[in-house]
Amino acid sequence: MGRVGPTEVWWRAHYSWLLEHGFQLCERYKPDWVPSWKGRDPSETIKCEDGQASREPSVLNAIRVKDGTHVVLKRIRAGSSHAEIENSVFLSSEKLCSLEKNHSVPVYNVLPRTTDEPQYDLIAILVLRHLWIRPFATVGEVVACVRQLVEGLAFIHEHRIAHRDCHRGNIMMDATPMYPQGFHFTSSFNLDMNRDWTAEARPLSRTECVTPVKYYFIDFGHSMRFNYEEPTLAMPAYGGDKTAPEFRGDGINRPYDPFSTNVYYLGNALREIFLDVRYIGLKFLRPFLAEMTHEDPTKRPTMPEVVVKFEKLVSGLGQRKLRMAVVQKDDLFALHTFIGGFGCWKRACTYWLKGLPAIPGGNQA
């Protein structure tokens, strides 16, 4: 029997249990798995699909047996999962899931709680990837992403849910439209492979996709849902972004408005993703994100106001600006990346000549 890593043991131990509940893990996690490279040089591991270990202990890809849907199973420690499951399932309800501005990760199934110790709840969700795993090619692609995210957080707020942890790691994308031949769940920025790990994946750019790439908020573990009549105050939740000004000093011990802090979190996440890596052509975002991350929470715009401000900003950009290539500044002095940067500009011109939209899947400026 093949050996798996310490963080994978739980999944292999529950392979049969998950299969009984309609979800099949990949070959690597079968109890009687024999590595496909057995008898060969150990270096062959990297070349084999069943040699790819999961990067995160709490999530793993699987197939839903009844229809062959590729999903991600998320394991949540029992007792810590009430808010995540309740609010995620609410936002995935039949009434809300099909609404265009809903950018909360869809929950397909909630599995029964495991009976062994420690107990876990499991949910089956859409397969997503970090949005920076493939670089953005044009200003319009960035605009499409930001537009979806500000609309998505406004939608969550509209339903009186404060996410409270919408840092950049909890913003992902459904990259399926970019990969007509599929991608492997364990692929990374440095090694992007196809579904069966036989060749490198060949992704389309966001502009070239037939169906627009959609962006999502994940991980509602810190979220709170408020009644329409009750005050929107809560004690601080110490999530992935620990830079919120209102939590400095004694602020960590005082109730705060989580909706205002959400505005900060999203603004800071977008600043980290698009400005800290210093893409060329995105300076127009800086004043907009500065408002969202204002030191004084009471001076930040609400999410509905953020949506209006962003649309006003986009309306002033024009087609030429939207079709501009975005290249990372820091790399322009390296010759090979400079040539790659020239390739980005050439590709942007090709999109224009083909008549592809300046803003993928969205209203044009």
Span 276-283, mean pLDDT? Answer: 83
For the chain, which domains are there?
8-126 (3.30.200.20), 129-354 (1.10.510.10)
Q: Is the pLDDT of residue 286 over 80?
A: yes
Q: What are the tokens at 55? A: 């990067």
Span 152-180, mean pLDDT? Answer: 97
User: What does the alpha-carbon distance between residue 1 and residue 3 come to, in Å, rounded to a whole number?
Assistant: 7
User: What does the alpha-carbon distance between residue 96 and residue 109 come to, in Å, rounded to a whole number?
Assistant: 16
Asked if residue 151 lies in contact with residue 307, where contact means CB atoms within 8 angstroms, the answer is yes
Asked if residue 183 lies in contact with residue 173, where contact means CB atoms within 8 angstroms, the answer is no
Q: Quote the pLDDT of residue 348.
A: 67
Report the candidate in 131, 212, 220, 125 with the shortest Cα–Cα distance to residue 173.
131
Q: What are the tokens at 243? A: 């830079």
Sequence letter at residue 223: S
Report pLDDT digits (tens) over 87-139: 999 999 999 999 999 999 999 999 999 989 889 999 999 999 999 889 999 99
Question: 339: pLDDT confidence band, cut at 50, 70 and 90?
Answer: very low
Neighbouring CB atoms inside 10 A of 274's CB total 20
Q: Is the pLDDT of residue 264 over 60?
A: yes
Q: Is the pLDDT of residue 251 over 50?
A: yes
Span 249-268, mean pLDDT? Answer: 95
User: What does the alpha-carbon distance between residue 207 and residue 61 come to, in Å, rounded to a whole number?
Assistant: 27
Q: What are the tokens at 227? A: 């009644």
Report pLDDT digits (tens) over 195-225: 889 889 999 999 999 999 999 999 999 999 9
| 153-167, 181-195, 343-357, range with greatest mean pLDDT | 153-167
Return the SS3 of 217.
strand
User: What does the alpha-carbon distance between residue 206 and residue 350 come to, in Å, rounded to a whole number?
Assistant: 14
Q: Is the pLDDT of residue 332 over 60?
A: no
Q: Quote the pLDDT of residue 364.
A: 63
Cα angle vertex 185, ends 181, 187, to 5°?
85
Q: What residues contact residue 28 under an 8 Å CB cut-off, 6+ apart? A: 2, 4, 8, 50, 51, 52, 53
Question: 1: pLDDT confidence band, cut at 50, 70 and 90?
Answer: low
Span 189-200, mean pLDDT? Answer: 85
Span 336-356, mean pLDDT? Answer: 63
Q: What residues contact residue 201 under an 8 Å CB cut-off, 6+ apart? A: 179, 181, 182, 183, 184, 187, 192, 193, 194
Q: Could you tell me how many residues make up the chain?
A: 365
Q: Quote the pLDDT of residue 340.
A: 47
Return the SS3 of 111.
strand
Asked if residue 88 lies in contact with residue 49, where contact means CB atoms within 8 angstroms, the answer is no
Locate the DSSP E strands across 179-296.
214-217, 224-225
User: What does the alpha-carbon distance between residue 263 and residue 150 come to, in Å, rounded to a whole number?
Assistant: 9
**Among 52-56, 209-213, 265-269, 342-346, which is the least confidently predicted range?**
342-346
- Long-range (24+ apart) CB contacts under 8 A made by 329-337 are 329/278, 329/279, 329/280, 330/277, 330/278, 332/280
Return the SS3 of 52.
coil
